[in-house]
Chain A
């Protein structure tokens, strides 16, 4: 079940970007999702993220994320109107509750809850995109320059995770062959069987870890300057994506200061579009953010373009 979320190499354009460029792009998406309050901007951002996910052929994975985040979105939409009394357009008056005071549900609070759930979905989608297009090893190799020892712990653990899942399955099968029935008996009888399973896993994997340490020692780990096994190339596509992300960030900060990308929910809903600036900034920001999608499309359909970037 866990393979679905793990990075899969599909030979896509988005997967060929330099880790620094991809991380900047995803970081900008995340920051914008956190600072925008205008529903138009939030929806536009969500649209760009979903488009990029579809360019990474990850819509099926995204559906799982969507289903997982539905529960939290509902919670946000429910809690907000119940505890917020700032809205003026009251659409329902309920009984008085001990902690919360009078129970009133206002239109503004519902609108705010809905906007926040769009934000939540956008943030979760950005992480879905991260899982689809960034190989953990690439990030770890970037991290290894700053903190080599922590990066080693993380990459060792990432590599051993699937191996250990298989090992657990092996131990279980051996136990079954020896006559242990994991499905029989009450909970009290079954627990010692599982305890044995994990005991064996703990013992054998700790023994393995000592062997790994000896192998590292034998290869002179930590005896001097680290050498570099693989370097990622910086190509024109990376500069384009990086430039787009930085432009979008600058525009967003400008829009935030000028009030284009913000929206007043309380005490009464404000206007979605205050001035032409709102639309102009929105369109340029979204275009700058969709550079990777456009490049990905060109990369697939235009061999000359593919050779140039």
Chain B
């Protein structure tokens, strides 16, 4: 079982690389239609790997419940804004959750928010890509404290601003590989130029959300992170204690 676990990760990476290399051949086989499918398959393998990592890690019951709750909050925060294109506090919620609870929890909150909110807003071929993009936002936010230990509000505002664009760019890859032909620089630039305005809106609203809500939300989450840490006493100490109290009587 342990050997199987060790093999799985490099195996999946090999599979992704193999698919990328095979795309040169498969592309010819499917008459240039394979890219959208192939890109989605690679994204789904990456998602499966990340979920598998969560499955294998040591996660307490409390963490599971808090991750589910934060994912729901991020998903709910999408709904009131669903009518406005790209003004979504969800990105901001995912980023602060990852920032406080670490990369793995950040990924789970982001991908859960995407999947669950789409149960209510409509699932689509965009779901795996949104799960991936938001999961990545949470993961990178979780890595920020490790890379820059003195990350302040200013840096995080810039980080949120940047992710407004990154999220749009990842989603553009989906549109571009799936529905545009031919795949060349001109069509790439055209797709990205078409989304530039919406991405800017997303980035600006992210930065605004962090400026207004950021510090107080981070404070609340940090309080709960402290509450999560529970140390269980080993059973024998308790037995000793009860036998000692027994002796007293």
Q: Which residues of A contact B70 (CB under 8 A)?
A: 206
A221 touching B61 by the CB < 8 A rule? yes
Chain A residues near B125 (CB-CB < 8 A)? 30, 123-124, 127
- The chain B residues found within 8 Å of chain A, CB to CB, are 30-31, 33-34, 36-37, 51-52, 54-55, 59-62, 64-73, 75-77, 79, 82, 108, 112-113, 115-117, 119-125, 175, 179-182, 184, 186-187, 189-191, 194, 212-213, 216-217, 220-221, 224, 227
By the criterion CB–CB under 8 Å, are B181 and A116 in contact?
yes
With the chains together, A136 CA to B119 CA distance in Å? Answer: 8
The answer on a CB contact under 8 Å between A217 and B33 is no
Q: Could you say which of A72, A84, A128, A213 contacts B64, with CB atoms under 8 Å apart?
A: A213
Q: A100-B186, A154-B116 are in contact. Are A5 and B180 (CB under 8 A)?
A: no
* Residue of B37, B69, B108, B194 most packed against chain A (CB within 10 A): B69
Q: Given A79-B190, A198-B77, does the pair A147, B227 have CB atoms closer than 8 Å?
A: no
Q: Is the CB of A79 within 8 A of B194?
A: yes
The smallest beta-carbon distance between B8 and chain A, in angstroms, is 13
Report the Cα distance A305→B132, complex, angstroms.
45
Q: Which residues of A contact B121 (CB under 8 A)?
A: 2, 5
User: Does A195 sit within 8 A of B, measured CB to CB?
Assistant: yes
Instruction: Report if A199 contacts B (CB, 8 A).
Output: yes
Is A294 interfacial (CB 8 A cutoff)? no
Task: Give per-residue flags for A194-226: 1 if the beta carbon is below 8 A from chain B beta carbons, else 0.
Answer: 010011011101101110110011000110000
Set of chain B residues within 8 Å of A76, measured between Cβ atoms: 179-180
Given the complex of chains A and B, what is the CA–CA distance between A99 and B194 in angstroms? 14
User: Which of A10-18, A48-56, A155-163 contacts the other chain?
Assistant: A155-163
Q: Which chain B residues border A123 with CB–CB below 8 Å? A: 124-125
B68:A34 contact, CB within 8 angstroms: no
Interface residue tally of chain A, by bracket? Answer: 35 or more
Residues of A within 8 A of B112 (CB): 153-154, 157
Instruction: Choose from B37, B75, B187 the contact partner of A157 (Cβ within 8 Å).
Output: B75
- Are A202 and B65 closer than 8 Å at their CB atoms? no
Q: Is the CB of B72 within 8 A of A205?
A: yes
Give the shortest distance, in Å, between B201 (CB) and chain A (any CB): 15
Hey, which chain B residues are within 8 Å of A199, CB to CB? 216-217, 220
Q: Which of B33, B73, B189 contacts A99 (CB 8 A)?
A: B189
Once the chains bind, are A116 and B123 in contact (CB under 8 Å)?
no
**4 closest cross-chain pairs (CB), A and B:** A209-B69, A156-B68, A213-B65, A2-B120
Inter-chain contact A79/B73, CB cutoff 8 Å: no
Judge whether B73 and A205 touch: CB under 8 Å.
Answer: yes
Residues on A with beta carbons closer than 8 Å to the beta carbon of B113: 157
Q: Is B79's CB under 8 angstroms from A165's CB?
A: yes
B182 A84 Cβ-Cβ under 8 A: yes
Contacts of A119 in B (CB 8 A): 179
Residue of A nearest to B108 (CB): A153
Question: What residues of B have a CB within 8 angstroms of the CB of A149 in the complex?
Answer: 54-55, 59, 64
- How far, in Å, is B44 (CB) from chain A's closest CB? 11
**In the complex, A75→B60 CA distance in Å?**
47
A216 to B59, CA, bound (A): 14
Contacts beyond the supplied A119-B179, A209-B62, A213-B64: 13 A-B pairs with Cβ under 8 Å? A2-B79, A37-B31, A84-B182, A120-B179, A124-B124, A127-B122, A150-B51, A161-B117, A165-B76, A199-B217, A205-B73, A206-B69, A210-B62
Nearest Cβ on chain B to A201's Cβ, whole angstroms: 7
Chain A residue with Cβ nearest B40: A34
A83 to B176, CA, bound (A): 13
* CB <8 Å contact, A154 and B73: no
Contact of B190 among A82, A154, A168, A262 (CB under 8 A): A82
A83, A131, A256: the one contacting B122 at CB < 8 Å is A131
Cβ contacts A102-115/B at 8 Å (1 or 0 each): 00000000001000
User: Which residue of chain B lies nearest to A136 when distances are taken between CB atoms in the complex?
Assistant: B119
